[in-house]
Structure 1
């Protein structure tokens, strides 16, 4: 352990000041932490509040009491391989950069008191097919350490394999309930807006936390009516002026679209474009019976679900959230060849 400096340089991110609507998820996570050494995955679409939830957890009284100063929160979006991931963790532990710090990181945690390691947005390293197995192996080795609690956040609905994640698994984060969405909106934009106008703005977000936050900040500056009329022409580009996934909705969606899981099923983007036109989505029967020019509709459906670009509702219909619909409609509308079989199908009903 020669290359560990005497003091780690890990600084925890601030606790979110505005946070509503995830009480049950937080309670579920805390319940898992009452087991010996939990291994937890927070899943969900981009912009659904995974990072915020993880930040709430790392600052929670129960967690600080259990792990004290041994809490590490590593933002992984710059790591695209296992050595880079190990390097990022090593940096947080105060290690000197090295070619591959995997072993040193594992040794460090093995000889540490109970520790919590949170790897935020780990999908950047896990997504590429060439590095996935290595990253999963590394996660598996981390979870072999009895004193190390591991929590990861990643976009999508798929957990890395090779790890025995603590049960019960957390389902992917859903959109917020209307009450929570309103609270976030009011915390940012004040309560001087009519409920009707506020709900009209929230309808554009489908209660996706990132969209609520970005739109509420604009409403705070310009008012509901002005934003509603701007949305008519600007759509999702209205809330896409920031430079990263946390301040730019289109950037966040495009990250999911460029996922290797989507690339491996190129026509899944065609299916997404089609779904973006359909408020009621499609059932499996409709997917099978409609002669879409898509080779493997169920494979494409699976790719969209695994990246959380689409979801199935209570009636098992495949649907898309409003912000993603708007984005697709603006940038990747479906071709006539895609729409035609659908028109024919509905005409024949």
Structure 2
């Protein structure tokens, strides 16, 4: 708590609208796929997805290794040590913008992982999947499988008979979070982890691991903001070292050392300079870095995705609580929260409301 990046009331108001727009886009994609599957083009699609189950015949293309990567050496070492022990099941957790995907991509391209899994590494972005069947379909597409209503059994057969493989499911919270699909998704993950030759890595927002999976110990702790030295190195890699270090630290103070925020502000500093960006921040706040088209280039969109999560929307008074916390100058620290020892969320909201009025 005590975060330096405040969530404004406008961001929270936009969360529902952004979620609805995402749902509409998702449905449009499904409609297009259904139309293609029922048309003459289905045969050509089948040729793309059919054949032997190798990445050379699939749509799978591994994402590039991050070129700017600082401050996660300890977490990377922990991941690699788990792979040395055997076939791990690892959950990379943390808030939006903490660099979970970058950490997973760095591990994916590490020499140790390449040597162990060679051509059997798969990285699947789960942003577009809203159910277990759609998640299975995405994985199947990366393996080169022919589209089907539910590829679960085909996937299990493939990985059971394939050489040792690594499957990374990025942003798994998208299909996992909805309560109506969570049970099926967790059962699917459980079936995948029954395969002794399949290593599984997931990235998810939050600090909760999906149930029904025996995650490899020791668990990775949720990612925290970068240390100051790593934050500076990341900033300089993007914006060069020609800026006053005092002003650089002022900019970093605005980011709370969150990798996404550092990246967005550093790119602006590279174009306009620290002084101008600090001045603009006083006028524009988070809207300064909210012109991008997705959660990796738009801070408000990243925050809104977290706010529209069922873990927030399904909890009574949660958004009211966050709105009150955003009014406080420095948030509410863990120590203050423990000392308050409030009996319920409602009483917490009431007490905070009184505090703000005072």
| Category of TM-score, reference length = shorter chain | 0.7 to 0.9
Gaps of 5+ in 1: 301-336
In the TM superposition, what whole-angstrom CA distance separates every residue of 1:159-198 from its partner, at most 9, and x where no partner exists? Answer: 0000000000000000000000001100000000011000
Q: Specify the alignment match of 1:324 in structure 2.
A: none
**Maintained 8 Å contact 1:176/1:208:** yes
Aligned positions of 1:228-247 closer than 5 A:
228-247=278-297
TM-score normalised by the chain length of structure 2: 0.81
In the TM superposition, what whole-angstrom CA distance separates every residue of 1:103-147 from its partner, at most 9, and x where no partner exists? Answer: 111111110000000000000000000000000000000000010
Aligned positions of 1:1-349 closer than 5 A:
4-6=50-52, 7-276=57-326, 277-279=328-330, 281=332, 282-286=336-340, 288=342, 294-295=345-346, 297=348, 339-343=352-356
Alpha-carbon distance between aligned partners in 2 of 1:185 and 1:37, rounded to the nearest angstrom: 36
Alpha-carbon distance between aligned partners in 2 of 1:148 and 1:263, rounded to the nearest angstrom: 35
Alpha-carbon distance between aligned partners in 2 of 1:209 and 1:78, rounded to the nearest angstrom: 24
**Maintained 8 Å contact 2:324/2:353:** no
Alpha-carbon distance between aligned partners in 1 of 2:244 and 2:313, rounded to the nearest angstrom: 44
Q: Specify the alignment match of 2:25 in structure 1.
A: none
- Secondary structure at the residue paired with 2:261? helix
The answer to which structure has the higher helix fraction is 2
Larger CA deviation: 269-278 vs 225-234: 269-278
- Secondary structure at the residue paired with 2:68? coil
Q: Output the aligned Cα RMSD.
A: 1.9
**Maintained 8 Å contact 1:240/1:249:** yes
Alpha-carbon distance between aligned partners in 1 of 2:99 and 2:224, rounded to the nearest angstrom: 9
1:264 Cα deviation after fit = 1.1
Q: Specify the alignment match of 1:311 in structure 2.
A: none
Gaps of 5+ in 2: 1-46
Alpha-carbon distance between aligned partners in 2 of 1:38 and 1:78, rounded to the nearest angstrom: 26
Alpha-carbon distance between aligned partners in 2 of 1:148 and 1:241, rounded to the nearest angstrom: 39
- Secondary structure at the residue paired with 2:168? strand
Alpha-carbon distance between aligned partners in 1 of 2:210 and 2:66, rounded to the nearest angstrom: 27
In the TM superposition, what whole-angstrom CA distance separates every residue of 1:207-243 from its partner, at most 9, and x where no partner exists? Answer: 0000000000000000001000100111001111111
Alpha-carbon distance between aligned partners in 1 of 2:215 and 2:352, rounded to the nearest angstrom: 41
Alpha-carbon distance between aligned partners in 2 of 1:97 and 1:343, rounded to the nearest angstrom: 56
Higher RCO (CA-CA < 8 Å; seq separation 6+): 2
Q: Specify the alignment match of 1:304 in structure 2.
A: none
TM-score normalised by the chain length of structure 1: 0.83
Alpha-carbon distance between aligned partners in 2 of 1:72 and 1:123, rounded to the nearest angstrom: 18
- Secondary structure at the residue paired with 2:251? helix
Distance 1:296 1:73, change over 3 A: farther
**Maintained 8 Å contact 2:137/2:151:** yes
**Maintained 8 Å contact 1:270/1:338:** no
Alpha-carbon distance between aligned partners in 1 of 2:58 and 2:352, rounded to the nearest angstrom: 57
Distance 1:245 1:134, change over 3 A: same
**Maintained 8 Å contact 2:97/2:258:** yes
